Structure 1
C-alpha cells in the first residue's frame, strides 16, 4: 500500500494541468494533444475540449512552459499556466454564440441555395427550361457563398491546423470536401455547364454546425465545476495586523503566516492553524462528518469549513492557489481530462476514416479516367466519394442520444451533465453511497429521552429546548424540530455557550446546563457513568442531574427501499464516508449494508482512490452529496449527485437527481439504454460508410445523391436516438 501511495504521489508531482484558450471543437483538442506529445520532455499529454485543459506528464524534468506556449501558438491557440474558470466560461459562451450565428447564416442562405438547385434536379420533369439552368446554377453558387465563406470558415482553419499537426480528423475531411465541391462547381460554371455541387457543400456545413452546437450544449460544463467549487468560499477575510488592527482584505492579498479571525457563523476562506480561541466547526463540506468538531489551539482548519460556535484566531498556512480546495479543483481538472472508451473509439474511427476516404476518392478519380470519362466527370465521382462518406452521422451519434432524452429525463428529476460518462452504466457491479446528505438528512433527530429523578420526558424535552433555543448546533436544530406538549411559553433568560462543551442557561434564580457529561461533571453535577458519543445531550438544573436525550441521524425515507431494490437487482452496495466508524456502522445496520462494505473516516482524496481501486475489480457508481464528494464524483466512471447537492458537487457529477436517491435504479437503466443507443448509432455510421463508399467509387452515386444519402444517414441516427425519448416518456423506469 505504501509503495502504491508513493507511486501515485510521484505521478502527481510529474504532471501539471494547463489551460488552453481558443479551442472551438474536439478536433482542436486532438491537434493540440498531438502537438504536445511531440514536444521534448513530454511523456504524455491529454487535452479535453469540454474542460479547456491539457494534462501533461513528464519523467524527470518538467518541460519549459514558454516552449510549450510557443508550440501551441503555432496552431493558433494560447496556453496558460493555470486554469481560470472565468476565462473558460467566457470562452464557452463565445463559442456557443459564434456557432449560433454561423448556423443562422447557413440555414438562411442555405435554403436559398437549395431552391435553384432543386429546380435544376427537377428540370427533366419540366420544372425549368434548359436556357435558365446555367443562371440557376450561378444563383445557387451566389447564395452558397456566405455559407461557404463564413459559416464553414472555422472548419477550414481547424482542418488545416490538424493536418499540420499530423492529426487530421473530421474537420480536415470537411475542408477537403467543401473545397473540392466549390472548385469543381466553379470549373463547371466556367465551362458553361449547370452541373454544380454548391448544395452539397452547404448541407455538409449546416449538418456539422448542428452537430457542434448540440455537442457544445451538452458537454461544456467543466468551467462551471471549478468556478462553483471556488465560489463556495468567501472572497474576503478579516486580517489581524501585527499591531492588532482588524482589516477586511481580499483573499489574494493575504499570504501564509499572516493572522486572520473567524467568528461564529462565518466560513473559512483560507487554510489555517488555530493560534488562540475555542470553537466548534462544521467540517462536513470537506470531510463528511455530520457532527461539529471541537477546535482549540494547534488545530488545523481548511477553507470551506464553517465555524458553528466560538471565535478563532488562525495563522494562514496556505494562500489562494495552495489551499486544499484549490488542490481538489486541480485534481478534478485532471480527472476531466481523461477520455472515456466512446471518446477514444470515436477519435480512432475519425482518424482511420480520413485516409481511407481520401484514398477511396483518388481511386474513384483514377478508375473514372481509366474508363475514359472526361476530367470533370472523374472529379465529380471523387467528390461524390468524399461527400457520401463524410461521417456526419458519426459526429451526431453521441450528442443526439443525450439531447433527445434530456427533456423527458429532466421531467423525471434526472439531469444529465456528462453524456460520455453514461457508458459506465453498462455492467455496473457496485454502487458506492456517501452517508451524510445522501442517505441521511445531515441533521440528527431525537431517538430517546431518559429522564432522571422527578423529571418526565416532556419536561426534560422542554428544558433542553429552553437551554439550546439560540444554538446553531445541529443537535439543537434536531431538538427544536421535536414537538412539545407544554403550553408554557419559552423563557428567554441568559444563555452562555461554552464552545465544544455545552450551554449554561440563567433564568432568574435557576441555572440549567446542557452539554457533554464531562462538562457537567466539571460543573459539580453528579452524572451517572456514560460514554460521550457526540449523539447525546446531558441536562442538569440547579446542580442536580435531570437526564439525557439521545439522538440518531435522520434517515431519508427513500434510503432503505432504494438500497433493498438495488440489492435485489444484484448490485453490491458500499457505504463510504468521512464520518466516524461508530456512526457509519450504526447507519449500515439500519440499511442492511454488510459491515465489511462500510468504509469510514475517508478524506476526499481517499474516497477517489477507493473508487479507482474498486473499478479495477468491477464497474462502480458513486452517489454523493456535499463538497467533500466532488473529487469522487468527478473521478468515478459514473457519478450521481442527489437531493440538495452542493453546487460544486452537482456540477462535478455526471448525473444530478433533483429529488432523491429513489431515482438511482431508474437512472442506471436509462444510462444503460443511452449507452446501447450510442453504440448502435456508431455502428450504423461506420456500416453506412462501408456500404456506400464502394458504390461511389464505381460511379453509381452522383454528388447530389451523395449529399442526400449523407443526410439520410444522419436521419437514421436521429430516428434511432428518438427511441431514447420514447423509452423515457412512459414513466420513471426505463425498460431494459
Structure 2
C-alpha cells in the first residue's frame, strides 16, 4: 500500500471536502481517503492499480485541483507561504473593493427610507428609473469582485455537488434576478418597484469579509508547524581542506561531511561532535527549556541552537532523516488526520447543502401560497440559503486538532493522529513500565556496607574488579561508583542465577545474590545481614561480596526515580486516571518503588512478552488503557493498548508501535498530554455544538418563525453577516487551546 498527500485548491466548506472524498474513494484500489478542510489537504492510501495521476484527475472531475505534496521541506514551505500571502492579499483587495461598492449601494438604497437628504434622482420613490439604474451600476462591481465565489458556486451546482458558495450564488442570484425584472419594469413604467440589489451586494461582500477573516485565522492554527519549519538555517559552514570553511546551502550537505557551528547559530543537520564544547538549546525538540551541554562524542540535532561555544561536527543524518524532519512529518500527519468524533459532522455535511436548498424552496413556497407577497417569500428564500453554514461543521474538528497537536509538539509531545488525541482523553487506566519510565533506567549504587576492619572503598574496588568484564546494568553501576583502579582477576566464572566468582591476588571471591550467599554456608556477621535485609525491604537490589569463608560486604543498587515521577503520577490521579505499575522486577522491589510514587496497583515478575496479555486483561474489564513504555521491549503492549505512549530520547521519534511519543523522556509530559487531549476534545465538542446550534437556531429564524409571534423577519444581509462569522468563531475558539497551561 502507498500513502500520498495532496494539496487541494478550491474547497470552501465541508460539502466540498465530502465531494472530493467521495470522488477519490470511488476509485478502484483506494482503501482510505481523508480530506481536511482546515489544512486544504488530502491523504490517500491506495494500491498499485491506481496512480497519482488518476487520483488528481478524479479530484479535477469533481471540480477541484489536487497537487502532490508528499515532501514538506523548507523550500516547499516558503513557496506555500508566499502563495498564501499573495492569495490573502488578493482576497483582501477584492473584499475591500466589494465592501466599498456594497456600502455605497446600501446607502443609496436605504438612505431615503431613513430620512437622509439625498439628490432627487437617487430617491426610488420619486425617480424610480434613475435610482434603479444607479443601484444596478453599483452592484456590478460587487459581482466582479466576488466573481471567484460565484463561479465556484456555479461549477459545484452544475456538477451536482452544491457547496456553500452555491448557496450564496443561488441566494444573491435570486435577489439579483428579482431586482433586474423590477428594474426593467421601473424603466418601462417609471413606477416604483421593490429592489433587492443592496441585499445581493451586501451578501456577497459580507461573505467575502467572513472568508478573509476565516483564512487569516486559519493561518494561526498552523503556528507550531510554521515554527518548526523555520528552525533549520538555509546555509551551513562546510569544513574543507586545511580546516577552512565554505558557506554552502544546507541541502548540499552529505552524510560524513564535517561542518562548523558557531555560537548563536542553529545546527543544520543531525551529527556527532568531533571537537569543541557548548550548551545547546533543544527546547524545540524536547520541550525542555534548560540547555544541554555538548562535547566530543555527543549527538546534536538539526534546528537546535548552539549558545556559547563553537562545535566541529560530522553529519550523520540529513534531509528527511533528521529528528526535526521526522517531527515535522509526524506533526503534519497528525494535523491532517481525522478524529472519530468528526464522523457525525461528516455525514451531515454530505447532505447539508441539498437539504438547505430544499428547506429554503419549501419555506418560500409555503409563505407565498398562504397569501404573502413574492418579495416576502423571496426574503425567506434568500435568508435561509445565506444563513446556513456548512463551513463551521467542516472546521469544528480539524482546527482544534491542528492547534492541539501543534501545542503538544511545542511541549515535546507528538500525537501521531487525531484518533490518538481523542482516545487519550477517554483513557481510564494508565499502565506504566517501571524501568526507564518511572525510574531513570540507570541503576546506581546507593549503599556500601563493610565488615568491621574493611573500608567501603575496598569493597567497591574488589566488586568492580570482579564486574569489570560483565555487561549487565548492575555491573556498570558498581564500576561507576568505584573510584579506585580495578585489580587484575583470573579464573572468572559466571554462576547462572547466582552471581559470579573470580580470583584476585590468588584469593577466590564471590559476588552475587542471597541465593549465592546461602549456598556458601558462610559464618556471617549478623548485624551486616540485618542491615542488608533492611535495604531489601526498601526495594533495593542487594549484592553480597564474600570469600569462601567469610562475608566481606554488602552493596545495594537501586534504579533511582526520575525527578518528576511523583509529581507526574499525582497529576495523572488528579486528572482522574488510575495508575498501574507493570514490571519484570520482583514484587518487593516493585512495591517499594510504587509506594514512593503513590501507585496502589502493582503487577510484577512479568516477562516482556506477557505485558501485552496484562493490557488485554485490563481492557476485558472495560478499562480504556494507555500503556507507557520505552517503545522497544514494550512494543507488543504498546500496540495492544487503546493508546500506546512511548518515552522517547529526543532523537528517535519513529516509534511505530506508539500512538504518542514523549520526546524528553519526562513523565510529566504524559500528564500534559492527557490534559491537552481533554481540553482539545472539549474544544471540539464546543465547536460542534456551536455549529449545530447555530444552524438549528438560525434556519427557523430565517424561515420567518418569529413573524408568527409578531417578531421581525430576518434580513438577508444580517443572515450573511451571521453566516460569515460563524466559521470565524469556530476557528477563534480552537485558537483558545494555545492558552492552555501545561505546567
* TM-score, normalising length: structure 1: 0.58
CA shift in 2, pair 1:353/1:672, >3 Å = closer
Q: Is 1:351–2:364 an aligned residue pair?
A: no
Name the counterpart of 1:20: 6
Q: Is the 8 A contact 1:332 1:635 kept in 2?
A: no
Structure 2 counterpart of 1:601, from 604, 608, 629: 608
Q: Is the 8 A contact 1:188 1:376 kept in 2?
A: no
Name the counterpart of 1:559: 565
Q: Is the 8 A contact 2:3 2:44 kept in 1?
A: yes
Q: Is the 8 A contact 1:30 1:167 kept in 2?
A: no
Q: Is 1:688–2:670 an aligned residue pair?
A: no
Deviation at 1:356, TM superposition (A): 1.4
Q: Distance in 2 between matches of 1:614 and 1:74?
A: 46
Deviation at 1:213, TM superposition (A): 4.8
Q: Is the 8 A contact 2:648 2:661 kept in 1?
A: no
CA shift in 2, pair 1:118/1:615, >3 Å = farther
Q: Distance in 2 between matches of 1:466 and 1:523?
A: 10
Higher mean C-alpha displacement, 553-562 vs 352-361:
553-562
* TM-score, normalising length: structure 2: 0.57
Deviation at 1:358, TM superposition (A): 0.9
* Total equivalences in the alignment: 593
Q: Distance in 2 between matches of 1:628 and 1:73?
A: 47
CA shift in 2, pair 1:369/1:169, >3 Å = same
Unaligned runs of 5+ in 1: 1-14, 229-247, 253-264, 268-284, 286-319, 485-489, 492-504
The 5-angstrom pairing of residues 475-486 of structure 1 reads none
The 5-angstrom pairing of residues 116-515 of structure 1 reads 116-117=104-105, 119=107, 120-121=109-110, 123-127=112-116, 129=118, 131-132=121-122, 134=131, 137=135, 141=139, 144=142, 147-149=145-147, 152=149, 157=152, 160=155, 164=159, 168-170=162-164, 172-174=166-168, 176-177=170-171, 193=195, 195-196=197-198, 197-215=200-218, 217-218=220-221, 339-367=338-366, 370=369, 379-395=378-394, 397-398=396-397, 423-424=422-423, 427-433=426-432, 438-450=437-449, 456-457=455-456
CA shift in 2, pair 1:126/1:549, >3 Å = farther
Q: Is the 8 A contact 1:137 1:194 kept in 2?
A: no
Higher mean C-alpha displacement, 100-109 vs 619-628:
619-628
Q: Is the 8 A contact 1:575 1:598 kept in 2?
A: no
SS of structure 2 residue aligned to 1:573 = strand
Q: Is the 8 A contact 2:445 2:477 kept in 1?
A: yes
Q: Distance in 1 between matches of 2:408 and 2:331?
A: 26
SS of structure 1 residue aligned to 2:43 = strand
Higher mean C-alpha displacement, 329-338 vs 707-716:
329-338
Q: Is 1:37–2:25 an aligned residue pair?
A: yes
Unaligned runs of 5+ in 2: 124-130, 188-194, 232-251, 257-270, 274-284, 286-318, 517-539
Name the counterpart of 1:530: 512
SS of structure 2 residue aligned to 1:22 = strand
Deviation at 1:654, TM superposition (A): 9.7
Higher mean C-alpha displacement, 548-557 vs 708-717:
708-717
Name the counterpart of 1:295: none
SS of structure 1 residue aligned to 2:446 = strand
Name the counterpart of 2:579: 573
Deviation at 1:449, TM superposition (A): 3.1
Q: Is the 8 A contact 1:624 1:642 kept in 2?
A: yes
CA RMSD, 1 decimal = 6.7
Name the counterpart of 1:312: none
SS of structure 2 residue aligned to 1:528 = strand
Q: Distance in 1 between matches of 2:405 and 2:681?
A: 14
Higher mean C-alpha displacement, 591-600 vs 359-368:
591-600
Q: Distance in 1 between matches of 2:701 and 2:581?
A: 52
Q: Is 1:674–2:676 an aligned residue pair?
A: no
Q: Is the 8 A contact 2:221 2:735 kept in 1?
A: no
CA shift in 2, pair 1:580/1:567, >3 Å = same
Name the counterpart of 1:238: none
Q: Is 1:105–2:72 an aligned residue pair?
A: no
Report which of the two structures shows the higher radius of gyration computed on alpha carbons: 2
Name the counterpart of 1:497: none
CA shift in 2, pair 1:345/1:148, >3 Å = same
Offset from partner CA, 1:116-159 (integer Å, 9 cap, x none): 25534454223452644758846864664575135x48xx5488
